Structure 1
């Protein structure tokens, strides 16, 4: 079955089958050629096409109307030639017909000059009126002229009118088809009606057959041309409309791109301006840092230079056995060292604050405890300068705030000590610094007011710059360093929802205000009223671990002078040996944080704590390091306290007394 089917498929088709297929293609082509164009389904689109069609071909139609008028007038000479050849020729009747046609075409030409002629519907009505008038005039001339010349000399003009209608006037196919059918019906009616009802005839019967043969051919060709032309016109209209839509979309896209380009240019200019501002800011910060370092270097070099001179002079005094002079020079060296330590700590504090290393710890606490602490700490300093320190509190409820207690205490101490320095007594009015707390609805306002010299308005911004002291151009360290307000400003910027404001009047004083958010009383942390510790550290036994030989020797010598017992180690190897030889648990372990070869205080504690505890409670650990913040994050609660180098001997002694006393209390409890 498969072989037979394949053979049947491969069998050649008969010739008549191919011929039938070709005839179908021919008939389909003829049907396509004479298929009348269909108006657009959308009335608005059809109306738009008619307006576009009329506007596009209005100039051609005006030219065709004028040309037809000129040809009708010019053919009057043709009529006169017939009259000359045959005086019986009805010249007046023919000229009358031509005159009527000429008047109609002249009126038509005037209509073509009107704006309404651009509408295709008005143009079609006018053009078909002109075609009808011209055809009627030509057929009338054919009827009244002799049959011998009617077809050859005058009926041919009908073909000319048809050519105008099919070509020059650019008319639509459907009206052209209807007018052609109507013209053919009129020709047939005149040919057979004139003989029956009038003494005239259109043409002889033999000539009528030829006339209709050519009429039908011209009509078929002309109508086919009009059909093809209207199809093309409608297709071109859609293409032009689509092209216009595409062009509009492209224009909109171009406008959008231009807008985006302008926006990108604006962004680019903004980025350039931002980069320039950042560059200017970086240069300004660089200049400020350079000035800050220069001022810090100046304030550090001076006491360092004094310290070196004092130590050299003290050495010579000791060589002469002048103990009185050596003691005086020792006190001078101590003052220089304290000045260096104060300056260095202030610079480090400000640097850590501005670098964002310090992170505030927010708690709820009673700000009255902080005020009492500030007043208690600074009352002796105020008394030494003859300044009265007062405290007022205008709130009936508990003054609980949410802040970092240590930072807020430091801020208040800086502001109060600054006010004490600048307070001035006047006749009838003592020098006073007032510290107050005013309770607001959601905040607490802390005020520090002095009656000092005041700050000129043009200097209000400068007072927060490092090392700026308006009344200390000679840089006298007894009047401070000029870092207090800079540290205050840096701390305020770290504390959330805190705001610092101040007003000042020259000759009347300065008023600083700190807005602090209120806290929750139920969550407040009570202040720890720790008893005053005795600073006597004589007899305390400590293990000291320090890799710097000079610092190790100096601290060991200082501890011995204080009457303490000290075992030292400068590295982990010596510390391991020391841990094996410990005879009793130390009261305190003092260590640096960073050691050579990447070791830290963590390794120190792993070595010494097990040996120092011996089954009992391990001794407290005091870390003294130049990387206090790093040590605090790394060690956490595993150590009792962390002090930042350089630390003043008095503060170090207080810390040793406090921590070792805590060790004694714990031992007693146990």
Structure 2
């Protein structure tokens, strides 16, 4: 792309419509039209600065030389006055303007050395002003001197001035042309007014003067164009040099990096081999840990399931023998085994979900004091049955707002308190106690659970947070817990942002578990008061409810139907979404609750059940999802409280059914 234009729009239009041939027009444009400014103002400014600096010394020298020549013409006038009686009367006035011109030129020289002459604008102002003044002095001399001296000795001086103006002073073409036109116009006007020069001589002089102006202008145009082209080339060369330097620096850096890489190659290879070995060892350790976890889980699940089968077999034999009392007692024991199996299975499932990343915390502002008071109230009967005093001071119960997950933090607190109750020191009869406290700090709230139990040796502090590890329970007595409580606590605290778990324990004196939680704004989103999941609820409260059951597993559906029948619940059951659609078209009563499995036949889910209910009923119908899958998400469809994991206890099912039917709008 051209960096500048060589003609103005006016000149271009004039030459375009002129009868001159195209080749001639192009030659005239190239010869006479001064170069246009660069399109980029910053580039034009940089060019003018470079132009002024480049020719500053040359212009000073030309100015000094022109002044000397002007003075030398004064000696020639003195000699002419001595030899010519005709010129002698006019000499004083003519010589006065010669001296004025010399004085003006001297002022120009002084300014050229005193001002910022390297600036092109300043240099043009000084030189053009000086040329204009010299031309004025010469014009006055020409029209003061007598004929024919005014033409033969003075008019020809204009040629020399134009030669200087267009050639030696390195002025810009546009400025010099404007000055030349003004001088020629002034000469013509002065001649028309005074008729001082003979007409024939004036015509010949003007002919030569115009030729000098045209030739000088063409020389000046080509000189400026050459300077602009050279400036563009120099800038391009400078840019190329900069690019080359950048490339050279990059190559040098790459060479340095390559050399360093070559030197470090052996070290990196060894580090990579060591890292692979560490990863292989870590993978093997993880595999062994998972295998131990699965083996321990399978062992602990087999025990209550084995007992469940035996109790049911014994109850069946008792029923055959018509021993109702014995069969009732055996069924009660079977139910205990079933509850233990469900607890263990759910604990394993919770731990698996936490460690696999399927749990997304739902942060809200939670009043830790209220949650602690509710948890202590729930566990008080269990502590009393174990002979342990459970204390939570009334002074601690003022609000303590923390940013945490309202569903998981009660589990953490319950597990820590239960752990302190289970491992009470049997030798401290009447003095066994678990203390729960809330400590408020400016930036966090600390929940402390202290006990005076058997304590934990420091070498076991890391082990107790592993699944199925129970210090002091080598016989694996399930009455002393499942060995998963602290594992779940550790997993939950690790998952929640800004939470930290601390342990201090002395063997024989007791332990202190502390959980730090970040302070929350009490006016932010607050957790809703949730009824305890383990609280005992009466099936009689469900009598008369109308429930729709969507379950594709026939065994699970039959067991749910049997429970509903015993509880006095009115129900209809289907196995798929399609069957539910047919049922909804026939029923005359809006169901109080819909219970559905998550994964249903024909690639349907509980979300399709909710959508179908919304299409058939004008008001929301509570829906409870009971699923055996891990990581099920109903976000945007149902709240987390409307999802339960299999297996679940009848008490939990009753409590959740009552909660949803008593507050259908919230559900």
Same fold (TM over 0.5): yes
CA distance in 2, matches of 1:324, 1:382: 30
1:263 equivalent in structure 2 = 264
Q: CA RMSD in A?
A: 2.8
Q: Give the match's secondary structure for 1:542.
A: strand
CA distance in 1, matches of 2:346, 2:386: 24
> Is 2:506 the partner of 1:505?
yes
2:626–2:646 Cα contact (<8 Å) kept: yes
Q: Give the match's secondary structure for 2:471.
A: coil
1:362 equivalent in structure 2 = 363
Which ranges in structure 1 are unaligned for 5 or more consecutive residues? 1-249
Question: Are the structure 2 counterparts of residues 524 and 295 from structure 1 closer, same or farther at C-alpha, using a change threshold of 3 Å?
Answer: same
1:560 equivalent in structure 2 = 565
Q: Report how far residue 426 of structure 1 moved.
A: 4.8
Cα displacement string for residues 517-551 of structure 1 (whole angstroms, at most 9, x for unaligned residues)? 11123326265376997652111110101000000
Q: Give the match's secondary structure for 1:585.
A: coil
Q: Report how far residue 279 of structure 1 moved.
A: 1.3
Q: Give the match's secondary structure for 1:414.
A: helix
Q: Report how far residue 371 of structure 1 moved.
A: 1.1
2:607–2:634 Cα contact (<8 Å) kept: no
2:353–2:630 Cα contact (<8 Å) kept: no
1:440 equivalent in structure 2 = 441
CA distance in 1, matches of 2:358, 2:254: 52
Question: Are the structure 2 counterparts of residues 252 and 396 from structure 1 closer, same or farther at C-alpha, using a change threshold of 3 Å?
Answer: closer
TM-score for the superposition, normalised by structure 2: 0.58
CA distance in 1, matches of 2:384, 2:621: 40
Aligned residue pair count? 414
> Is 2:626 the partner of 1:646?
no
Q: 2:595 aligns with which of 590, 596, 599?
A: 590
Q: Give the match's secondary structure for 2:416.
A: helix
1:625 equivalent in structure 2 = 627
Q: 1:538 aligns with which of 495, 519, 543?
A: 543
Cα displacement string for residues 638-659 of structure 1 (whole angstroms, at most 9, x for unaligned residues)? x971111111111001111222
Alignment of 1:249-398 (within 5 A): 257-392=258-393, 398=399
2:406–2:527 Cα contact (<8 Å) kept: no
Alignment of 1:156-171 (within 5 A): none
1:217 equivalent in structure 2 = none
Question: Are the structure 2 counterparts of residues 336 and 455 from structure 1 closer, same or farther at C-alpha, using a change threshold of 3 Å?
Answer: same
CA distance in 1, matches of 2:253, 2:575: 79
Question: Are the structure 2 counterparts of residues 627 and 322 from structure 1 closer, same or farther at C-alpha, using a change threshold of 3 Å?
Answer: same
Cα displacement string for residues 250-295 of structure 1 (whole angstroms, at most 9, x for unaligned residues)? 9999886443223233233222222221111111110000000000
Q: Give the match's secondary structure for 1:406.
A: coil
CA distance in 2, matches of 1:406, 1:451: 29
CA distance in 2, matches of 1:459, 1:288: 17
Deviates more, 1:309-318 or 1:374-383: 309-318
Q: Report how far residue 464 of structure 1 moved.
A: 0.5
2:553 equivalent in structure 1 = 548
Q: Give the match's secondary structure for 1:567.
A: strand
CA distance in 1, matches of 2:333, 2:397: 50
1:152 equivalent in structure 2 = none
CA distance in 2, matches of 1:642, 1:480: 26
TM-score for the superposition, normalised by structure 1: 0.58
Q: Report how far residue 562 of structure 1 moved.
A: 0.9
Q: Give the match's secondary structure for 1:582.
A: coil
2:213 equivalent in structure 1 = none
Cα displacement string for residues 393-442 of structure 1 (whole angstroms, at most 9, x for unaligned residues)? 88798422111122221111110110011122655861110111112231
CA distance in 1, matches of 2:603, 2:525: 41
1:570 equivalent in structure 2 = 575
1:493 equivalent in structure 2 = 494
> Is 2:633 the partner of 1:635?
no
Cα displacement string for residues 87-106 of structure 1 (whole angstroms, at most 9, x for unaligned residues)? xxxxxxxxxxxxxxxxxxxx
1:467–1:482 Cα contact (<8 Å) kept: yes
2:467–2:487 Cα contact (<8 Å) kept: yes
1:628–1:643 Cα contact (<8 Å) kept: no
Question: Are the structure 2 counterparts of residues 547 and 517 from structure 1 closer, same or farther at C-alpha, using a change threshold of 3 Å?
Answer: same
1:451 equivalent in structure 2 = 452
2:28 equivalent in structure 1 = none
Question: Are the structure 2 counterparts of residues 427 and 666 from structure 1 closer, same or farther at C-alpha, using a change threshold of 3 Å?
Answer: closer
Alignment of 1:110-129 (within 5 A): none
CA distance in 1, matches of 2:621, 2:627: 19
2:216 equivalent in structure 1 = none
1:96 equivalent in structure 2 = none
CA distance in 2, matches of 1:358, 1:506: 35
1:157 equivalent in structure 2 = none
Alignment of 1:652-663 (within 5 A): 652-663=653-664
Question: Are the structure 2 counterparts of residues 640 and 260 from structure 1 closer, same or farther at C-alpha, using a change threshold of 3 Å?
Answer: closer
Q: Give the match's secondary structure for 1:581.
A: coil
CA distance in 2, matches of 1:383, 1:271: 58
Cα displacement string for residues 322-349 of structure 1 (whole angstroms, at most 9, x for unaligned residues)? 2222211211211111111011000000
Q: Give the match's secondary structure for 1:632.
A: coil
Question: Are the structure 2 counterparts of residues 597 and 392 from structure 1 closer, same or farther at C-alpha, using a change threshold of 3 Å?
Answer: same
Alignment of 1:25-174 (within 5 A): none
Deviates more, 1:573-582 or 1:499-508: 573-582
Q: Report how far residue 577 of structure 1 moved.
A: 2.8
Q: Report how far residue 618 of structure 1 moved.
A: 2.9
Cα displacement string for residues 348-374 of structure 1 (whole angstroms, at most 9, x for unaligned residues)? 000000001101111122211111111
CA distance in 1, matches of 2:642, 2:323: 41
Q: Give the match's secondary structure for 2:439.
A: strand
1:620–1:640 Cα contact (<8 Å) kept: no
CA distance in 1, matches of 2:522, 2:581: 50
CA distance in 2, matches of 1:291, 1:590: 36
Question: Are the structure 2 counterparts of residues 550 and 365 from structure 1 closer, same or farther at C-alpha, using a change threshold of 3 Å?
Answer: same
Which ranges in structure 2 are unaligned for 5 or more consecutive residues? 1-250
CA distance in 1, matches of 2:287, 2:273: 20
2:596–2:624 Cα contact (<8 Å) kept: yes
